[in-house]
A = this chain, B = another copy of it.
Amino acid sequence: MFTIFQNYLQSKASFTSEQLEMINAVSVIKKLRKNQYLLQEGDVWRYNAFVCQGCLRTYSIDEKGLEHVLNFAVENWWIGDRESLLNGTPSRFNIDAIEDSIVLLITKENFDMLTSKLPQLNDLVNLILQRSFVASQNRINSNISHTAEEKYKAFIEKYGPISLRLPQHMIASYLGITPETLSRVRKQLKK
């Protein structure tokens, strides 16, 4: 399963086999059944996590008990709670598997060791962070500017085939609308 991560790394930068071995040595594979938690609210998140296979979601639960999906992640995406990782604070989010999944975990300490020894990994991680921030800002812009229908169309546009793997009530939650509204938007768009 490390092969998938290795292929990903090689596609983004150049690593010698010794360097890959160093990464492999601190990587832990974790298999998750559908619905299984990777992180639960209140726990501290201590890893950098890469999705080798499957699909997961990050979500919060509000005072009324409603779930709000913050992010999805599929193969070749990173997932986790940066706030908890950065500050060592208990997470306000949950992460669970939408499909049976396989993730690769590297603890913060090991990851910091790797980035300090491998500049190309450091650059890669930094680039991903920058892109994540940009994506995040664009989502905010969409949130404050668009109607339910516009947000849904933009979502389908952005997620493409991945959107077919996500239950609609989770997409609705991600967009900040109810499942009923999403259902009506979809009906409208079919015409």
Inter-subunit contact B143/A144 (CB<8 Å) = yes
Q: Report the bound CA distance from A136 to B82 in whole Å.
A: 11
Quick check: is A175 within 8 A (CB to CB) of the other chain? yes
Residues of B within 8 A of A143 (CB): 140, 143-144, 176
Q: Digit string of A128-156 for contact with B (CB within 8 Å is 1, else 0)?
A: 01111110111111011100000000000
Quick check: is A18 within 8 A (CB to CB) of the other chain? no
In the complex, the count of this chain's copies comes to: 2
A-B contact pairs, 29 of them (CB 8 A): A62-B145, A66-B145, A69-B144, A70-B137, A70-B140, A70-B141, A71-B137, A82-B130, A82-B133, A82-B134, A82-B137, A83-B134, A83-B137, A83-B138, A86-B130, A126-B126, A126-B129, A129-B130, A129-B133, A132-B133, A133-B136, A136-B136, A136-B140, A139-B140, A140-B140, A143-B143, A143-B176, A144-B175, A145-B176
Quick check: is A173 within 8 A (CB to CB) of the other chain? yes
Inter-subunit contact A141/B68 (CB<8 Å) = yes
Residues of B within 8 A of A137 (CB): 70-71, 82-83, 136
A95 to chain B, nearest CB (A): 13
Excluding A70-B144, A83-B134, 11 further A-B contacts by CB distance (< 8 Å) are A70-B137, A70-B140, A71-B137, A82-B137, A86-B134, A129-B129, A133-B133, A133-B136, A140-B143, A143-B176, A144-B174
